[in-house]
A and B are shown apart, each in its own frame.
Chain A
Amino acid sequence: MDGTFSDSFKTVNGHAIEEDQDSLKQVGSFFPKFDSTIQLLNQLINSYDINKSLNEEESKVRAAYGQIREIILPYLEQPYLLDPYLEKLILPVIEKLRTDIKIIFQSNNQIELLKNYQNRNYLYKYLYLLTNVRGYKTILKFFSHEVNDLESTINFLVLNIENLQYCWETKYILLIWLSLIFMIPFDIKNVDSSADNEESMINKIMRIAKEQMSSAGKEQEGAALLISRMLLRKDLHQTELPNYIKWSIDQLNSTENIFLRKGILISLCNIYKQGLRDYILPLANDTLPIIHLFDDERFNTNSLLKKLLIKLAQRIGLCFLKPKIAKWRYKRGNRFLSDDLSVNVNNNSNNEDDDNEDDDEEEEEEEEIPECLEEIIEILLSGLKDKATIVRWSSAKGIGRLTQRLSKELAADIIEVVISIFSENTLTTGDSKESIEQVDISTVSDDTWHGACLALAELARRGLLLPNRLSIIIPWTIKALTFEQQKGSFSVGSNVRDAACYVCWSFARAYEPKIMKPYVNDMAKALVSLSVFDRELNVRRASSAAFQENVGRQGLFPHGIDIITKADYFTVGNRNECFKTISVDIANYEEYMYSMINHLISYSVIHWDQAIRELAAESLGMICKKDISYTENNVIPRLVTIANSTELNERHGALIALGEICHNCYIDISQSNDHWWTENQLNNIIKPISNILPQYSTLYLTSFGSEIALQGICFFITKLSEIKWPKEETKRWEELLLLSLERKEIVIQNLAIEGTKQYYDKYLISDTQLQNFIGKLDFAMDPIVRSGYSRTLSILPHNILVDHNDKIFNAITKICFYEENGTNNDVESRKYAIQALTNFTLNSNLTKEQYYAVIDILFNGMKDYSIDNRGDIGSIVREQCMKSFEVVIPFGTFNDFIDNSSLYIQVINELLQQCVEKINRIRVVACKTLIKLIWENNPKIPDGVIPKIELLENAFLSGDVDFRYVNTNDLYERLVPLIIIPEFRTSILTGLVVSVGGITESLVRDSSTPLLKFISVLPKDNMIINDFMDSLLSIFANYLNDDRVTIPLLMVLDLLLSSNSFEKLQDNEYYEKIFENIKHVIFKSKNVKKLVPAIKTFCGLLSQNISETLKHNIMQRLLSYLVHPFPRIRKLTAEQFYLALINIENKKVLLEFNEDDFELNDDDDDNDNDDFEFEDEDENTEKAKNILLQTNWNMGLAQIKPIRNSLYELLNITPPKTVKLNN
Chain B
Amino acid sequence: MGLLTILKKNKLKEKEIRLLMLGLDNAGKTTILKKINGEDISTISPTLGFNIKTMELDGYKLNIWDVGGQKSIRSYWRNYFEQTDGLIWVIDSADRKDRFELCKKELLSLLKEERIAGASLLIFANKQDLPSALSKDQIQEFLELDTIESCHWNIQSCSAYTGENLVKGMKWITNDIRSRIFLLD
Contact = CB atoms under 8 A, between A and B. Distances in A.
Contacts of B179: 15, 83-84
A502 to B, nearest CB: 6
B57 A337 contact: yes
B184 interface: yes
A541 B79 contact: yes
Contacts of A393: 1, 6
A203 to B, nearest CB: 34
A1137 interface: no
Contacts of A341: 35-36, 38, 163, 166-167
Interface stretch (B48-56, B91-99, B125-133): B48-56
- Which of B80, B81, B82, B184 has the largest number of chain A CB atoms within 10 A? B80
**Band of interface residues on B:** 35 or more
Contact of A141 (B76, B152, B184): B184
A381 interface: no
Interface string B66-97: 00001110111111111000000000000000
Nearest to A82: B183
Given A24-B154, A393-B1, A548 B79 contact: yes
A81 B118 contact: yes
A565 B181 contact: no
Contact of A569 (B77, B118, B168, B181): B77
A885 to B, nearest CB: 46
A499 B2 CA distance: 10
B156 interface: yes
Contacts of B78: 569-570
A498 B3 CA distance: 8
Binding site secondary structure of chain A: helix
A336 B167 contact: no
B181 A80 contact: yes
A935 interface: no
Nearest to B140: A25
Given A30-B118, A83-B179, A561-B50, A502 B81 contact: yes
A700 to B, nearest CB: 40
B138 interface: no
B75 A568 contact: yes
Contacts of B153: 25, 27
Nearest to B50: A552
Nearest to A495: B3
Contacts of B135: none
Contacts of B143: none
Contact of B167 (A83, A339, A501, A538): A339
Contacts of B35: 341
A23 to B, nearest CB: 5
A6 B84 CA distance: 32
A548 B156 CA distance: 30
Binding site secondary structure of chain B: mixed
A568 B71 CA distance: 14
A80 B38 contact: no
B61 interface: yes
A565 B70 contact: yes
Contacts of A684: none
B39 interface: yes
A11 B185 CA distance: 9
Contact of A568 (B6, B38, B74, B170): B74
B170 A337 contact: yes
Interface in B113-170: 118, 146, 148-154, 156, 162-163, 166-168, 170
B154 A509 contact: no
Contacts of A83: 179-180, 183-184
A722 interface: no
Contacts of B166: 341
Contacts of A338: 167
Given A83-B179, A552-B50, A335 B38 contact: yes
A544 B78 CA distance: 11
Contacts of B100: none
Given A542-B80, A545-B80, A552 B51 contact: yes
A570 B113 CA distance: 14
A664 to B, nearest CB: 29
Contacts of B167: 337-339, 341
Contacts of B57: 336-337
A451 to B, nearest CB: 13
Contacts of B163: 341-342
B26 interface: no
A805 B53 CA distance: 76
A8 interface: yes
Contacts of A20: 172
Nearest to A338: B167
Nearest to B179: A15
Contacts of A81: 118, 180
A565 B73 CA distance: 8
A335 B1 contact: no
Nearest to B10: A461
Contacts of A495: 3
Contacts of B65: 552
B40 A345 contact: yes
Contacts of A15: 175, 179
Give 8 closest A-B pairs by Cβ, nearest first: A341-B163, A568-B75, A552-B52, A545-B79, A83-B183, A541-B80, A545-B80, A337-B57
Given A346-B40, A542-B81, A548-B76, 7 more contacts: A24-B172, A84-B183, A341-B38, A541-B79, A545-B82, A555-B49, A570-B75
10 contacts: A8-B184, A20-B172, A23-B168, A24-B154, A27-B148, A332-B54, A544-B80, A545-B82, A564-B76, A568-B79
